[in-house]
Amino acid sequence: MPWQEQSVRSLREEFVVLAERPDANVRELGRRFGISPTTGYAWLTRQRAAGAAGLSDRSRRPNASPRQTPPAIEARVVALREQHPPWGGRKLQRRLVDLGEADAPAPSTITAILRRHGLIDPEAALLHRPVVRFEAAAPNDRWQLDFTGRFALAHGRCHPLPVLDDHSRFALGVAAGADEQGSTVQARLTDLFRRYGRPWSLRCDNGPPWGATRSEHQLTSVGVWLIRLGVEVWHGRPRHPQTQGKLERLNRTLTADGIDRRRYADLATVQAAFDDWRASDNHERPHEALGLATPITRYAPSPRPFPETLPEIVYPADDAVRQVDAADCISWRGRPWKLSVALAGQPVGLRPTLVDGVVEARFCHHFVRTLDPRGDQACAH
């Protein structure tokens, strides 16, 4: 029968008194009290050794806890978490191992430590779900870049520009800029190309300075410069930030670690903080998408060096070459055809397609548009 919590000890005392009688049948008495013979004889032994006090509940905690996390290691877990608030049990465990902690607790133990110290938000934990990841096959196959949310400084505003290698998650640079102009982006990318070489392609969104939202052919001066360097420019789908999911994830981490946690006076202060964050993210932070490796272990510089002088534009002999005029047009078959304002003054190649009479206009390796004389897409001067 069930016993109320407040009557447990009194029932134990009753059982012991009855069981101590000379004619008592301990096993039968135990059945009536709903306890096993082992428990009944244990109570008798404890009462004989310590009297009534022996019938009180005893702590189930063992005298020794060999599996309990040592306080020093628990303190390291808490300190590391406070240093990196977004990191969970797996990342913290991997970082402890990388730091030479031979007795680093299991990720589940670290998670329990974080809960005990109130360092896990239950609602935030529910938001984490396994995701399907896609990545470039090798370093420098594709870089991603985009301005993340600008924020106010004590004097002026900061426009952060992170650049990420798609394959390794290596943060090639995080620049604290004063604006989002094309010349600023080109200068930042030039520095990265000089240090790490040129990628094969670069993915960005559809807006300026790398995408011309209002232009049918999606070319800007930055895009033209990248194409001349032999870098393919890819734009994400409009209103689909998941096409740059890795960069979006980096931006969230950067915001949580480097932007939201402090107030900055000027761009120089921000840049110093970004540099520290980037070093930590590349060399210290274990990435789940990399099997908890760090990005630096998967990245290698590009074998394609940066040319200080832009290479000459050369088209195949079968292409008809036309010069884009100041009105963004070329002349073909006696008609003007509009291309892109960013191509003004540049040569383009007209290449036959499989459709008779239709050609495609290319700038270097980049497809610009199709010219179909049967359509009504010529320029109007």
- pLDDT of residue 361 exceeding 80: yes
Please state the domain count of the chain.
4
Are both 172 and 35 inside the same structural domain?
no
Are both 236 and 101 inside the same structural domain?
no
Q: How far apart are CA 90 and CA 128, in angstroms?
A: 13
Instruction: Answer yes or no: is 133 within a domain.
Output: no
Are both 120 and 203 inside the same structural domain?
no
- Looking at residue 115, its pLDDT comes to 74
Instruction: Answer yes or no: is 236 within a domain.
Output: yes
Instruction: Answer yes or no: is 36 within a domain.
Output: yes
Are both 224 and 355 inside the same structural domain?
no
Are both 86 and 192 inside the same structural domain?
no
Instruction: Answer yes or no: is 260 within a domain.
Output: yes
Are both 120 and 148 inside the same structural domain?
no
What would the pLDDT profile of 231-251 be if each residue is shown by its tens digit?
Answer: 988 876 544 444 566 777 776
Are both 210 and 270 inside the same structural domain?
yes
Classify burial at 60, counting beta carbons within 10 Å of its beta carbon; exposed 0-12, middle 13-18, buried 19 or more.
exposed
Are both 94 and 149 inside the same structural domain?
no
Are both 117 and 166 inside the same structural domain?
no
342: domain range? 320-371
pLDDT band per the 50, 70, 90 thresholds, residue 58? low
Q: How far apart are CA 79 and CA 98, in angstroms?
A: 16
Instruction: Answer yes or no: is 113 within a domain.
Output: yes
Instruction: Answer yes or no: is 306 within a domain.
Output: no
Are both 165 and 83 inside the same structural domain?
no
Q: What angle do CA 320, 323, 328 make, to 5 degrees?
A: 125
Are both 264 and 227 inside the same structural domain?
yes
pLDDT band per the 50, 70, 90 thresholds, residue 332? very high
φ/ψ of residue 291, rounded to 5:
65, 30
Instruction: Answer yes or no: is 379 within a domain.
Output: no
CATH number at residue 194: 3.30.420.10
Mean pLDDT on 5-25: 69
- pLDDT of residue 131 exceeding 70: no
Are both 147 and 172 inside the same structural domain?
yes
Instruction: Answer yes or no: is 164 within a domain.
Output: yes
What would the pLDDT profile of 269-326 be if each residue is shown by its tens digit?
Answer: 989 988 888 888 888 888 777 788 888 888 999 999 999 999 899 999 999 999 999 9
